[in-house]
Amino acid sequence: MEFGDIVLEQEQKALLVMLVEAARNVPRDQRQKFWVAQAAGGDICIHAGLPGGSANTYMGDFEILANERLLNLSYSPSGTPQFDVTPLGFAYYDYLKKQTGQPAQRVESSIKGHLSADEFQRKYSLAYKKWCEAEDLLWVSDSETQLKTIGHLCREAIQEFATALVERFQPADVDDNKAHDVNRMKSVLQLRASRLGDTERSFLDALLEYWKAVSSLVQREEHGGQREGRSLVWEDGRRVVFQTVVVMFEVDKAVVR
């Protein structure tokens, strides 16, 4: 199938990706239509498969996707916009993913796309800003001073990320010290685990251990690897930048289930 005649802005492609993945996040026997609540403050797309059940959107983008036959947009008797992703929409999603490169590149692109989406930036604006500063520095220099700064920025990113989750979920008896990100993340994950089955609770336990490891890694980078007595190299910077973004990606995906 040829998709060369479909012309979309990058934001509209990202929206389609979000919609397809939301549809796939709901068991087939529980599938439901997406619907859009329109208000003066903006348009909100509502669906059980979306992170948190909703996302800030723009109605015009849905209409453009529908014009390309990627959505089957209709209106309820009360005038509420509603739609499903069409088979062509699912096929175009597959095409977009394959356009991003080899399988490993597609996974990396998916992670970066999730973090650069408006919804993630809105929820974790300070964490995202700090991580972007670290990522920018990674390509500028491999000096030890820059690598320490990368560690410091990633450290601030995970602290701000944990703080945003604490403020959102308000776990009881949480550690108030922002520097104690492991304790704060433990409180959040334990609160969310109480709503999950045994298998997913085990995953959150493992995710906390992963968070601990990344937290230790960025602290090591921030202090220049002094404990091991080994100078930092560019690969150390790449590792903390990549692992920081991956752990934030996985935690965000897990806590909104």
- 36 bridge partner residues: 45
Average pLDDT over residues 61-86: 96
Give yes or no: residues 72 and 139 share one domain: no
Share of the chain above pLDDT 90, in %: 45
Average pLDDT over residues 139-160: 85
Q: So what's the pLDDT on residue 110? A: 59
Give yes or no: residues 110 and 168 share one domain: yes
Q: So what's the pLDDT on residue 34? A: 97
Degrees to nearest 5, angle at CA 209 with 50 and 204 = 35
Degrees to nearest 5, angle at CA 90 with 20 and 51 = 5
Between strands 81-83 and 34-39, the pairing is antiparallel
Joined tokens for residue 157: 């990113």
DSSP state, residue 51: G
Give yes or no: residues 82 and 168 share one domain: no
Instruction: Answer whether residue 139 shows pLDDT above 90.
Output: no
Give yes or no: residues 228 and 133 share one domain: yes
pLDDT band at 22 (very low <50, low <70, confident <90, very high): confident
Q: So what's the pLDDT on residue 225? A: 63
Instruction: Answer whether residue 151 shows pLDDT above 80.
Output: yes
Q: Per DSSP, which regions of the chain are E strands?
A: 34-39, 42-46, 54-57, 74-75, 81-83
Residue 118: give the domain boundaries. 103-255
Give yes or no: residues 92 and 122 share one domain: no
As for how many domains the chain has, the answer is 2
Going by C-alpha positions, the residue among 247, 229, 86, 223 that lies closest to residue 165 is: 247
Q: Distance between CA 245 and CA 231 in Å, rounded?
A: 24
